[in-house]
Chains A and B, each alone.
Chain A
Amino acid sequence: MTDMSIAWSEDYACGLNSGARGLAGLLRPVKAEALAAPAAEPAWTASGDRPLIELRKVSKSFGPVIALDNLEATILPGELVTVVGPSGCGKSTLFNILAGLEEPDPGNILRFRGKSSAASELLGQVSFMPQRDLLLPWRNVIDNAILALEIEGMPRAQARAEALKMLPEFGLSGFEAQYPNQLSGGMRQRVALMRTFLFKRDLMLLDEPFGALDALTRTMMQRWLLDVWQKHRRTVLFITHDVDEAIFLGDRVLVMTARPGKVKLEQKIDLPRPRKADIVTSPEFVGLKKTLLDAIEEESMKSFMTSGH
Chain B
Amino acid sequence: MSTVAASSNARRIGRGFAGAFLLAAIWELSVRGFNLPTYVLPSVSSILAGMVADAGKLAAAARFTAAEALTGYLLGCVIGIAAAVGVSMVPRTRSAVMSVATAINSVPVVAYSPLVLLWLGIGMTSKIVMVAVAVSFTVFLSTVAGLDRVDRKSIDLVRSFGAGRMAVLWRLRLPTALPLIIAGMRVSTVRSVIVAIVTEMLGAYGGLGWVIYQAVLQIDFVQVWAAIIVASAISLCFFGVISFIEQRYIFWR
Chain A residues proximal to chain B, CB less than 8 Å: 96, 99-101, 123-124, 126-128, 130, 132, 134, 136-138, 147-148, 150-152, 179, 181, 199
Contacts and interface: CB of A to CB of B under 8 A. Distances in A.
Contacts of A134: 153-154, 157
B161 interface: yes
A66 to B, nearest CB: 21
Given A132-B153, A134-B154, A136-B172, A124 B251 contact: no
B175 A138 contact: yes
Contact of A123 (B153, B160, B171, B252): B160
B158 A147 contact: yes
B175 A99 contact: no
A151 B156 CA distance: 13
Contacts of A179: 251-252
Given A138-B175, A179-B251, A181-B252, A126 B154 contact: no
Given A137-B252, A150-B171, A151-B171, A123 B157 contact: no
Given A132-B153, A134-B153, A126 B160 contact: yes
Interface of B: 153-154, 156-163, 167, 171-172, 175, 178, 251-253
A91 to B, nearest CB: 15
A99 B204 CA distance: 61
A124 B253 contact: no
B157 A130 contact: yes
A136 B175 contact: yes
Given A136-B172, A137-B253, A128 B154 contact: no
A124 B153 contact: no
Given A130-B153, A134-B153, A138-B252, A101 B175 contact: no
A98 to B, nearest CB: 10
A151 B154 contact: no
B161 A199 contact: yes
Nearest to B155: A101
A152 B158 CA distance: 11
Contacts of B167: 151
A151 B161 CA distance: 7
Nearest to B161: A148
Nearest to B154: A134
A101 B252 contact: no
A149 B162 CA distance: 10
A132 B162 CA distance: 19
Contacts of B157: 128, 130, 134
Nearest to A125: B162
What are the 10 closest A-B residue pairs judged by CB atoms, nearest first?
A: A124-B162, A137-B252, A148-B161, A128-B160, A99-B160, A151-B161, A151-B163, A101-B156, A138-B175, A134-B157
Nearest to A132: B153
A124 B252 contact: no
B158 to A, nearest CB: 6
A151 B178 contact: no
Nearest to B249: A138
17 contacts: A96-B156, A123-B159, A124-B161, A127-B160, A128-B157, A132-B153, A136-B172, A136-B175, A138-B178, A147-B158, A147-B161, A151-B161, A151-B162, A151-B163, A151-B167, A151-B171, A152-B162
Contacts of B163: 151
